[in-house]
Structure formats: C-alpha cells, structure tokens
Amino acid sequence: MKQSLSILLVILSLNVLAIKPQKEYGIRPENYALIYKDLNVITDDGLKIKTWFFPAQDSITKDEWYKAANNPVRKEYTTKYDLPRPTIVICDGDAGNMMYLTQFAKELVGFGYNVVTFDWRGFGESDSWETNEDFLVYPEYLLDYKAVISEVIKQDEVDKDRIGLFGFSTGAYLSFATFYKQPEIKTFVGRGLLTDLKSAIDSIKQVIPDKKIIIPKDYPENLMPINIASKIDRPCFLIVGELDNRTPASMSISIFNMLKGDKQLWVVNNATHGGATGPEFIDFKKFMTQLRTFYDLNL
C-alpha cells in the first residue's frame, strides 16, 4: 500500500505540458484487485498500443484494495453483466503512463461502466518510439487513439452506442479531436482543455520562460478545439482548475460557449492544472461524483 501511494505521489508531480514517457508500471490493476484483460491494439502504422480493458464489476472494498496493494494477484477474467455495458475510454496526458489512471477505473467500474486505459506509443509497454521531449505533442498519437477505439468497439462487453471519452490536458484535446472525428462516440469529458497549441505555449512560457517547446508542423490545425467546438452537438463536460496557469479557465470557457449540444462547465475552486492540487485530486470524491452524474445522464 505504501509503495502504491509513493508511486502515485511521484506521478502527481508531473504537472507540466511536456512529453515525458515512463516505461515501467509501478502499479498494475492487480494492485487495485481489479478484473481486466489486455486488448490487442495495432495502429495503422503497425505499432502495438498497450491497452487495459476493465469490465464493469463489483466495487472494490477498502480491505480488498489494501490486501491487493501488498500482495497483488491477477484475477480470472469474468464479467458481471450478460448484456453489453456503456464504456468509458480514459486518455492520459503527456507524462508518466496509464498506471496513473487505474484509480479512476477502480471507481468507474463499480458504477456499472466498462473502462479502457491505454498508453501512447513510446509510453509504458506500448511499442517503443523515438520521442523528442521538447515536442508538445505528436500527431501520431491520434493514430494510437483511433486504433484503441476500433478495438474497443469489437468487444462483446461493449454497447457500441454508448462509448464516452475522458481525457486530461494533452489527452483532453486529443480526445476532443477523436470525439469530433468519430460521431459514433456519445460523450466527452475533458480536464484542462486548451483552445489551440500556440495559446497553450504562450501560457506555459509565462510560467516557465526558458522552456523549449516545439509544435510539430504536421499536427492538424483543423482539429484544434477552437476550430471544431462549434461543430459538436453531443454532450460535453469541461473541467478546469480556477488557478490553472497552463490551460487557463478562459480556454475552457471559450470552448464551452461554442459547443452546440448539451454541455456542462465546472471551474474547480482553488485547483491548479494537475497534480495533487489539480481538479481531480483536490477533492477526489466530489470529482468522481460529478463524473458519474454526467455519464449517468448522458451515456
């Protein structure tokens, strides 16, 4: 248990928009007593994307969690429900790997949702890929996301008409682009959504003036949130910290005002961009309650 918390605290410190892959999983689903399986996800350019699929299952008790944290054992894969379930794909940001997302899966599966997490190329146990950490993003990550969605839709446990996305920071705008491109996806939740890459760099430079940041020339400008928000009429929930100085609340507000469908905006008091004081951890219980309420209504 202590090891799990220590690793979590390290990951929470990764709070800057910058590509920082981490290969090792210090925490796995076994550490949370979760049932899961690996999906065979291959991108159009031939890379394997490490993906965990958590079926909707009984809530994990504190005793089960504590026992598993100290003595992790992989459970046999079984499903609780006979019929397909709504599914939430959680997309990480640009640092660490998906082990950070397992705690969200732990909560959501107990609410009756399947949950999917994955790692970008070059992250975790996804195939290796040369990465320049000065880049803000790689357009190839959109290929990774597309491949994950394609494989998720094939799963018998998944209700194909009830798939939602949930992304953080870099993962938020990549999720938003994927949401726009794939109309079969029903809902979107984004924490720390930017308007466009140039504006995000301007914000980062105010905090870290000497930081070198490169925008890839081939990232599709037409998929920036500011350019697609007015074309989206499906349910969206935008979450941002009141004190976020990387993707300021003004960015989420701008996108929110452009959205055409059902929408919610939550500016979290006293929260920053991410880490221990980010919207999801400044009050984790409230965050998960808000998330569940949105998905229960819209997914």
Query: Is the pLDDT at 64 greater than 80, yes or no?
Result: yes
- Write the single-letter amino acid at 174: L
Query: Is the pLDDT at 44 greater than 90, yes or no?
Result: yes
CATH entry 3.40.50.1820 includes domain 2-298: yes
Query: Is the pLDDT at 16 greater than 60, yes or no?
Result: no
pLDDT of residue 17: 59
pLDDT of residue 184: 95
In degrees and rounded to multiples of 5, residue 56 shows phi and psi of -55, 135
Q: Which among 132, 144, 135, 273 has a CA at the least distance from the CA of 197?
A: 135
In whole angstroms, what is the distance from residue 94 CA to residue 150 CA? 22
Looking at the DSSP assignment, which residues form a beta bridge with residue 236? 188, 263
pLDDT of residue 88: 99
By percentage, how much of the chain surpasses pLDDT 90?
A: 84
pLDDT of residue 29: 98
Domain residue extents for the chain: 2-298
Q: Which among 32, 25, 30, 21 has a CA at the least distance from the CA of 7?
A: 25
**By the 8 A CB rule, do 87 and 114 touch?**
yes
Higher pLDDT, 9 or 199: 199
Model confidence at 6, pLDDT cuts 50, 70, 90, reads very low
Cα distances from 269 to residues 93, 190, 191, 281, in angstroms, run 22, 17, 14, 12
Query: Is the pLDDT at 109 greater than 60, yes or no?
Result: yes
pLDDT of residue 12: 47
Q: Report the first-to-last Cα separation within the chain, whole angstroms.
A: 33
**pLDDT tens, residue by residue, 161-185:** 999 999 999 999 999 999 999 999 9
- Helix intervals (H) in 71-213: 102-110, 140-153, 170-181, 197-207
- Element housing 279 (H / E): helix 279-282
Distance, C-alpha 97 to centroid of its chain: 10
Model confidence at 210, pLDDT cuts 50, 70, 90, reads confident
Tell me what the mean pLDDT of segment 226-251 comes to.
97
Query: Is the pLDDT at 14 greater than 70, yes or no?
Result: no
pLDDT of residue 204: 85
Distance, C-alpha 259 to centroid of its chain: 20
In whole angstroms, what is the distance from residue 45 CA to residue 245 CA? 36
pLDDT of residue 264: 99
CA quadruple 85, 94, 272, 177: dihedral, nearest 10: -60
pLDDT of residue 280: 95
Model confidence at 5, pLDDT cuts 50, 70, 90, reads very low
In whole angstroms, what is the distance from residue 171 CA to residue 192 CA? 9
- Helix intervals (H) in 22-169: 62-70, 102-110, 140-153
Query: Is the pLDDT at 10 greater than 60, yes or no?
Result: no
Tell me what the mean pLDDT of segment 261-268 comes to.
98
In whole angstroms, what is the distance from residue 295 CA to residue 48 CA? 29
Among 59-63, 204-208, 223-227, 272-276, the range scoring the smallest mean pLDDT is: 204-208
Model confidence at 1, pLDDT cuts 50, 70, 90, reads very low
Burial 15-27 (b: 16+ CB within 10 A, else e): bbbbbebbeebbb
- Residue 256: helix, strand or coil by DSSP? helix
Model confidence at 207, pLDDT cuts 50, 70, 90, reads confident
In degrees and rounded to multiples of 5, residue 53 shows phi and psi of -115, 120
**By the 8 A CB rule, do 79 and 54 touch?**
no
Query: Is the pLDDT at 148 greater than 80, yes or no?
Result: yes
Model confidence at 205, pLDDT cuts 50, 70, 90, reads confident
